Structure 1
Amino acid sequence: MKNSNSNTKLIFLHPYIQKQGSSNRLWLLAFISFFTLAFLATLIYTRDSNSNSTSATTSNTMHTTPLSTNTPLPSAVINTLLHYASKSNDTYHMPHSDLKTISDVLRKCSSPCNFLVFGLTHETLLWKALNNNGKTVFIEENRYYAAYFEEKHPEIDVYDVQYTTKRSEMKELIDSAKEQVNNECRPVQNLLFSECKLGLNDLPNHVYEVDWDVILVDGPRGDWPEAPGRMSAIFTASVLARSKKGGSPKTHVFVHDFSGKVENVCGNEFLCRENLVAATHSLGHYVLEKMDESSVKYCKNSNNHPSGSASSS
């Protein structure tokens, strides 16, 4: 039997060895922590620098090249829009000559230009585009079509109005307006408070407060005796033009389908032949000046009776 004590070996772990291993691990941990913090600091600094640089660049760009809402459409764009609008297959589209006449006036209009249009037509989007720097408002007789159009084209500002006139009553309505020229049917007034049979008094309040530079009468319908006709639209346009408080003293009023009896007769009665600067078979162009509040005549020539279609000038 061997002595177990003779094979027994005692191993002593020196304290220095334990401390040395622990110290190495601490140094390694400290080294990793240092570089981790350095990396995070560098990442944050770089991101902030890039963000500030981008902000500064954007700010400088905004100061050096501001976005302008008053930049007119290039001539090439306008000509292209007119070309395709006039080539439409729509039966009731305007000819190129009429489109260009109205477009030329809008281009010369001081910016921003205030443009009022009676009727939603094939050219509605064109008018909005051509007057892209200004205020364009449309007045439509059909409330359902107005709602549909505005939903489909949210950028279009359209209001519906209820016409109470009939095309067959044109003569009586004109006679009534003449009789009331000193009162309800004055040529200078705020139609919002008027009871004139030919005046539209149920438009939004702000429509009466705008100084309109250009007005186009291309509605409502007037193809049969019971249709509303354009008597009220023409009369209202004449009063709005003469009742301006500011802006340009002149207002361009266009009447489409000028060869029609209602358009021609009411144009001569309320817009006046002396204000007719040009006319074709389909478009009458009047230029009206604002009047004094005490005015009681629509036309300078009180003997200016309705006649046939105006000749081109």
Structure 2
Amino acid sequence: MKGSGAKLIVVHPSIHNHPATRHHRLWLLLFLSFFTFTFLLALINTKHSPSSTAAYSAASNRLSKPISDALLHYAATANATDRMSPAEMEAVAAALRGCIAPCNFLVFGLTHETLLWKGLNQGGRTVFLDENEYLISKYEQSISDFEAYDVQYTTKVSELRKRIESVQDQRRNECRPVQNLLFSNCEMGINDLPNHLYSIPWDLILVDGPRGYSPKMPGRMSAIFTAAVLARSKRGGGEKTHVFVHEFEREVERVCSDEFLCRENLVETQSSLAHFVLEKMEPNCYEFCTERRSPAFRAAKSSSGRDD
């Protein structure tokens, strides 16, 4: 009689080069790589005591929420088109990395990169200004410790030349480059923000709002002028302020940057992002730039058939 032998048969699913499997693995790899990069970047920028395990643990816990918020945001908006290029984002991130903590970061505009800026500025203060009160409310409801304020702009893109001429006429009075805008009546300055924002020594200012792609929109002339005054009137903190202007190729952004931030302070451009570094000025200074009338403004006036 033949003996019966037990046989073990192992069955497993095929994993050989299935297209869907490779696709999912690629996305997982990209997600984990981004998370690792962001986490390491945050750790590098976070100051902690090597001798204190408790302090290190607390710092790590503080990092988790902003980073997770940013990851969720970018996962949900992976196909967004109105975003900065990688080179532009890296330019701002590099300035944040070089900032002596805590870093004060003022951002004009709520954009695709909003949560990135908040997440990268760990331990510092990031404040957003935007014309859309509803959008601010949505961020405040979904993101903890989110600080933003609405701004009512009174300018229009079509008024560019008239507004700049008004500043030039009042540069020794209401539109001085060094002043507290809270008490100013300069029509280009933003003077209705919460009082405490005017006394903060801003280390970085990013102008990526308000809207400015049609003549009836407010444009960024007030934001650029206000950034220039805040940087030159800085009290406390470091001597310099990094000011970034996005969509620098547009007329309003280019002309106002030339007039108030000045080409002599331009340190780099990345795609459509211009990076200026401004130093504090003394109260008795009345010129924004070494050359009072910028080439861009003269060219704009010449094309309109007007000149001084």
Deviates more, 1:154-163 or 1:287-296: 154-163
The residue that corresponds to 1:141 in the other structure is 131
- Which residues in structure 2 correspond to 1:22-171 (within 5 Å)? 64-67=52-55, 88-171=78-161
Distance 2:78 2:166 in 1: 41
The residue that corresponds to 2:7 in the other structure is none
- Give how far 1:144 is off: 1.5
**Does residue 304 of the first structure (1) align with residue 258 of the second (2)?**
no
Distance 1:245 1:266 in 2: 24
The residue that corresponds to 2:202 in the other structure is 212
Distance 2:52 2:215 in 1: 60
Distance 1:289 1:70 in 2: 32
**Unpaired segments ≥5 residues, structure 2:** 1-50, 300-308
Aligned with 2:295: secondary structure? Answer: coil
**Contact 1:138/1:157 (<8 A) preserved:** yes
- Give how far 1:66 is off: 3.2
Aligned with 2:93: secondary structure? Answer: helix
The residue type paired with residue 283 of structure 1 is L
Distance 1:139 1:296 in 2: 27
Aligned with 1:66: secondary structure? Answer: helix
The residue that corresponds to 2:3 in the other structure is none
Deviations 1:274-299 (A, max 9, x none): 00001133100000001000110000
- Which residues in structure 2 correspond to 1:283-298 (within 5 Å)? 283-298=273-288
TM-score w.r.t. structure 1 length? Answer: 0.72
Distance 1:132 1:215 in 2: 16
The residue type paired with residue 226 of structure 1 is K
**Contact 1:258/1:264 (<8 A) preserved:** yes
- CA change 1:213–1:270 in 2 (3 A) is same
Distance 1:306 1:114 in 2: 31
Distance 1:128 1:67 in 2: 21
**Contact 1:166/1:228 (<8 A) preserved:** yes
**Does residue 201 of the first structure (1) align with residue 198 of the second (2)?**
no
Distance 1:222 1:177 in 2: 20
Aligned with 1:116: secondary structure? Answer: strand
- CA change 1:297–1:70 in 2 (3 A) is farther
Distance 1:303 1:166 in 2: 21
- Give how far 1:153 is off: 1.4
Q: Percent identity?
A: 55
Distance 1:230 1:64 in 2: 46
Distance 2:189 2:117 in 1: 25
**Does residue 180 of the first structure (1) align with residue 165 of the second (2)?**
no
- Give how far 1:132 is off: 1.1
Deviations 1:110-140 (A, max 9, x none): 0000000000011100000000110000001
Aligned with 1:251: secondary structure? Answer: strand
**Unpaired segments ≥5 residues, structure 1:** 1-62, 309-313
Aligned with 2:110: secondary structure? Answer: coil
**Contact 2:87/2:271 (<8 A) preserved:** no
The residue that corresponds to 2:12 in the other structure is none
- Give how far 1:70 is off: 6.8
The residue type paired with residue 261 of structure 1 is E
The residue that corresponds to 1:17 in the other structure is none
The residue that corresponds to 2:260 in the other structure is 270
Deviations 1:228-255 (A, max 9, x none): 0000000000000000111111000000
Distance 1:304 1:259 in 2: 16
Distance 2:246 2:219 in 1: 12
Q: Give the greater-gyration-radius structure (CA).
A: 1
**Contact 2:85/2:271 (<8 A) preserved:** no
**Contact 1:119/1:219 (<8 A) preserved:** yes
- Give how far 1:64 is off: 4.0
The residue type paired with residue 294 of structure 1 is N
Larger RCO (CA under 8 A, 6+ residues apart): 2
**Contact 2:172/2:286 (<8 A) preserved:** yes
Distance 2:255 2:79 in 1: 30
- Give how far 1:305 is off: 2.5
Deviations 1:53-107 (A, max 9, x none): xxxxxxxxxx94232577898xxx8xx97xx69x931110111000011001101
Distance 2:280 2:59 in 1: 26
Distance 1:231 1:164 in 2: 10
